[in-house]
Amino acid sequence: MNWRLIGLSTANGATNMAIDETLLASVAAGGAPVLRFYQWERPCLSLGYAQKIAVVDTAVCAQNEWEIVRRLTGGRAVLHQDELTYTLCAAETDACMTGGVLASYKRISQGLAAGLQRLGIALEQTPTAARGNQGSVACFDTPSASEIVFRGRKLLGSAQTRRKGIVLQHGSLPLAGDVGEIADGLLVADKAYLQRELRQQATTLTYALGSKPNAAAVAKQIQIGLSETLGITFTPSSLTTAEQNHIQTLRDQKYTQPHWNGRQ
């Protein structure tokens, strides 16, 4: 299988989400499947597709200069800052996406874990039947099915959406920082309690390795892990002019707008 590889880049939250949706549209139009790696210009709190803006402490986010954006994918809130994010986009008929959501999620997770293990850390995957804390508003509160954990603590969180036969999965790998900080930006009854829970249930790659990793080096190992596990050949690619134009339109008309990000 031959996939496009969009190399590591950095953008704000609205642009990152517009790029992901544009890549989904490109695959839907008959383009090659895609793997993309990216980072965030400044802290950004992303909401799952169905989450209400009411869970966000917008005053604190403004004070902290955190961007707020809504994802295409489901799940719960994530604070993106010092992290590596990946996106995979392919048709449901692609070998790595067949068998439904759980089967594809597990398959991709095995490839991600293989890449991270190349860095020299021992990882686990949660059981397929596992479920996270469904009452929580924060993604990293507890691991969900087939997610990657280090010594019992969630290391990489992912989410998936399927539209017109196309699958988009993206995920967040915290490289460093305080995994409990997101609690400051959420309207919960006890922020201190949520912070403690997150710090007990989640971790960063710096903690797992004992030193802060280089994002580009981590991306390369994940690419190799996915390639070897899923039998994919990745070919470096750039965004086309048409894609760049689509990204700008989506960013300006959707991902920076209250009708999308502020949905109740």
DSSP the chain: -EEEEEEEEEE-HHHHHHHHHHHHHHHHTTPPPEEEEEEESS-EEEE-TT--GGGB-HHHHHHHT-EEEE-SS-S-BEEESSEEEEEEEEETTSTTTTT-HHHHHHHHHHHHHHHHHTTT---EE--TT----TT-SBGGGS--TT-EEETTEEEEEEEEEEETTEEEEEEEEE-SS-TTGGGGGB--S-HHHHHHHHHHHB--HHHHHSSPPPHHHHHHHHHHHHHHHHT-EEEEE---HHHHHHHHHHIIIIITSHHHHT--
139 is catalytic: yes
Q: Of the listed 44, 89, 96, 139, which one is catalytic?
A: 139
Q: Alpha-carbon distance 257 to 70, whole Å?
A: 10
Residues belonging to the active site: 139
